Structure 1
Amino acid sequence: MDLVTPYKRLATPSDLEDGVGEQIAKAINPIIADALALYVKTKNYHWHLAGPHFRDYHLMFDEQAAEILAVVDPLAERVRKVGGTTLRSVGHIAQLQQVKDDDRDFVESRDMLLELMNENKEVAARMRAAHAVTSDVNDVATTSLLEEYIDQTEERTWFLFEAAQEA
């Protein structure tokens, strides 16, 4: 059996130009890795929150984590639909993620808000860069998804910013 054959079996046909699937995978897979890392970081803060605004922040972090996780499958499936391959393991995520892990035993709630605000802001910037790639190769479907996800990320950034003002 040819070693290339299994990959060829994953090379979904597309009307986009040859090689575009690989370009899109290279642009989108780090976004997916960041989403998974940001999901875990947001849930970490959700689980380890303490302080006077516990209920409000606990619920906000949970809502935001669910929204973040919801982008993973559509983006990964877009990569596959255009003939690329996507993430395969936690190790692969770790190689691509730019969201920083937070393994501290305790984080003040205001620091959580600011940390998540900054991470979301940086993720939005990386989504914009991926948007430029998908737009340049005429992948309107992935470009459209990114536009929606950038808006969601900006909203999370806004909510976290406003919450940090009172914390």
Structure 2
Amino acid sequence: MITEKKVEVIKENHSSINLINKEQLIKILNQQLADTIDLNSQLKQAHWNVKGSNFYTLHQMFDEFASETLEFIDIIAERITALGGVAEGGVVTVSRKTRLESSLGNFQVEESVVKELSLKYQQLSSSTREAINFSEDLRDAATADLFTEVVRGLDKTLWMLEAHIQ
């Protein structure tokens, strides 16, 4: 999960977390940021393109879920900068770093779009749980708490997606 690239940390940041842990936390946060931005993008793509008898319901639902992910993106990016790092949320960086597969394609089959999105949520929820553990290992309860808040929201949305196709 953590790449070898050295993270630049602003020296003026006076957080009580040691520099080595900050660098690791920023890497973890930037990875989750890339994955969450990608999920948001895929939700918007589904929102714009879904077709079928449940169009209106799914169109609204996907937009609501995309709005929620924007909140996650913001708190993750702000935590990165609070630790003295740079939030890497550009399109090129996100497309290079994301671990989510871009497999949404058949927007005519509503159930397949919902299933694909639920798989994305499962993947991001799992990696967020790993990020909680890494944050705890690095003795940063605040970042672990942030990821706990994110995973709570991801799990709720995953439940809603899965309930929609049962």
TM-score range, shorter chain: 0.7 to 0.9
Q: What is the alpha-carbon root mean square deviation over aligned residues?
A: 1.8
Structure with greater Cα Rg: 1
1:27-42 equivalences under 5 Å are 27-42=28-43
Q: Secondary structure at the match of 2:19?
A: coil
Q: Give the whole-Å Cα distance in 1 for the aligned partners of 2:9 and 2:114.
A: 45
Rate the CA distance shift 1:29–1:107 in 2: closer, same or farther, 3 A: farther
Higher normalized contact order (CA 8 Å, seq sep 6+, divided by chain length): 1
Q: Give the whole-Å Cα distance in 2 for the aligned partners of 1:15 and 1:88.
A: 26
Verify the 8 A CA contact 1:128 1:150 in the aligned structure 2: yes
The equivalent residue for 2:126 is 125
Rate the CA distance shift 1:122–1:105 in 2: closer, same or farther, 3 A: closer
Rate the CA distance shift 1:123–1:11 in 2: closer, same or farther, 3 A: farther
Question: Share of identical aligned residues, percent?
Answer: 26
Q: Give the whole-Å Cα distance in 1 for the aligned partners of 2:12 and 2:116.
A: 39
Verify the 8 A CA contact 1:131 1:146 in the aligned structure 2: yes
Give the aligned residue type for 1:68. Answer: T
Q: Which runs of no fewer than 5 residues in structure 2 stay unpaired?
A: 1-7
The equivalent residue for 1:138 is 139
Quote how far apart the aligned CAs of 1:13 are. Answer: 2.3
Q: Give the whole-Å Cα distance in 2 for the aligned partners of 1:109 and 1:19.
A: 46
Q: Which runs of no fewer than 5 residues in structure 1 stay unpaired?
A: 1-6
1:80-99 equivalences under 5 Å are 80-87=81-88, 89-99=90-100
Q: Give the whole-Å Cα distance in 1 for the aligned partners of 2:122 and 2:71.
A: 18
Q: Give the whole-Å Cα distance in 1 for the aligned partners of 2:104 and 2:24.
A: 33
Verify the 8 A CA contact 1:24 1:84 in the aligned structure 2: no
